[in-house]
Structure 1
């Protein structure tokens, strides 16, 4: 019974005092690094306990918890730092930064990036991508998945081709700023992943976008 309670006590200890205030929302939250460390600690504790003899089980549990916390918190902390740099670099550009676990999603609206029916980057997008490149060069342990999206107007073949060309245009601009081509993957999703209704002009405008998802190398 005591063995089963120790991971919970460790988790509670890690969580205590680890809540922080989100500078953008004003809300109290547990950082992704803390969440990763907590999960790693509990997992490591269980593995440590299971792999130790009965007499050394408590010691094995504590060692496993410590190593698990270090591994689990490392990725989260790395992505926390990258997220903060991206928010600072992209403030006021119109690009939204969305954190999803250990991934970071950048949503670039079409009003910033391309003219209607074009895959040629506009100057505001070129300037913005230079800032993105600065950050992702610094944090080189992440890969980039770049996806182009369109609304549903026009033929499907045209939209699929256009969305792919737009994703490739973004990747080419990042490559021009020395982001390694091996880190980037491009996809054209066409109209298949809408985030708003295509029945209104406002919804169509929201659906025309390029998303860059940064994921830890693994």
Structure 2
């Protein structure tokens, strides 16, 4: 059983673990996303758990055990958070000026690719303006290979529903084919055509329809990566 005097080093280790876990903040916390970096979240939680476990294991010196447990578990727990933070940072740099929007929500990173740079009207052939963003994406996906990559095509409501669903699926598949040709592991990729069913703006205006014609690429951690 802990006494007040014996628990003081453990409490100190827990506080140290929390401070260490919170030291790294997401450089994009003022942009859309999770705010606190995943490194801080997982590092802090892991470090606290490690501190408690370390104190329990090292009966002879609970304070020392807590500090060692906090250091080891905190570093391990911060793994995917640090990974996702660095990938997000790289993607924001490489997509700057391309028209592609990078969003972050928790473990998920999403890229929104507007219709004006992706495909010509009623076509699933990749537009020339789309090659640079796709090449940058392929380079990032080869380097950061612990994500699944879901590619979803979207259209406006012009034309029949069946035609738009088919067109959006072909566009998503065109993106997947290009990434695979650039060396991205095909087993990480999945595609889906949402057609006009998930609008982000009104289809009653030209500007709204342009926003709805888009491709979204969503990155999520592979099983075991967290």
Q: After TM superposition, is the score higher than 0.5?
A: yes
In the alignment, what sits opposite 1:40?
46
Counterparts in 2 of 1:7 and 1:55: CA distance versus 1, 3 Å: same
Shift of 1:78: 1.0
Aligned length: 214
In the alignment, what sits opposite 2:105?
100
Shift of 1:153: 2.4
In the alignment, what sits opposite 1:121?
126
In the alignment, what sits opposite 1:201?
206
Give the alignment's Cα RMSD to 1 decimal. 2.9
Separation of aligned partners in 1, 2:17 and 2:46: 10
Separation of aligned partners in 1, 2:122 and 2:159: 10
Separation of aligned partners in 2, 1:38 and 1:53: 21
* Aligned residues of 1:126 and 1:173 also touching (Cα < 8 A): no
Separation of aligned partners in 2, 1:142 and 1:113: 23
* 3-state SS of 2:113 partner: strand
* Deviations 1:17-58 (CA, angstroms, capped at 9, x unpaired): 444654986xxx643212221132234445666x75987776
* 3-state SS of 2:191 partner: strand
Say which one has the larger Rg.
Answer: 2
* 3-state SS of 2:44 partner: helix
Counterparts in 2 of 1:10 and 1:199: CA distance versus 1, 3 Å: farther
Gaps of 5+ in 2: none
Please state if 1:187 is matched with 2:192. Answer: yes
* Aligned residues of 1:146 and 1:212 also touching (Cα < 8 A): yes
Counterparts in 2 of 1:21 and 1:167: CA distance versus 1, 3 Å: closer
* Deviations 1:134-171 (CA, angstroms, capped at 9, x unpaired): 11111122221111111222221111111111100000
Shift of 1:207: 1.1
Task: Please report the TM-score for the alignment, with normalisation by the length of structure 1.
Answer: 0.82
* Deviations 1:155-192 (CA, angstroms, capped at 9, x unpaired): 21111111111100000111111111111111111122
Gaps of 5+ in 1: none
* Aligned residues of 1:156 and 1:190 also touching (Cα < 8 A): yes
Task: Please report the TM-score for the alignment, with normalisation by the length of structure 2.
Answer: 0.80
* Aligned residues of 2:47 and 2:74 also touching (Cα < 8 A): yes
Please state if 1:143 is matched with 2:148. Answer: yes
Separation of aligned partners in 2, 1:16 and 1:24: 17
Please state if 1:212 is matched with 2:211. Answer: no
Separation of aligned partners in 1, 2:158 and 2:62: 64
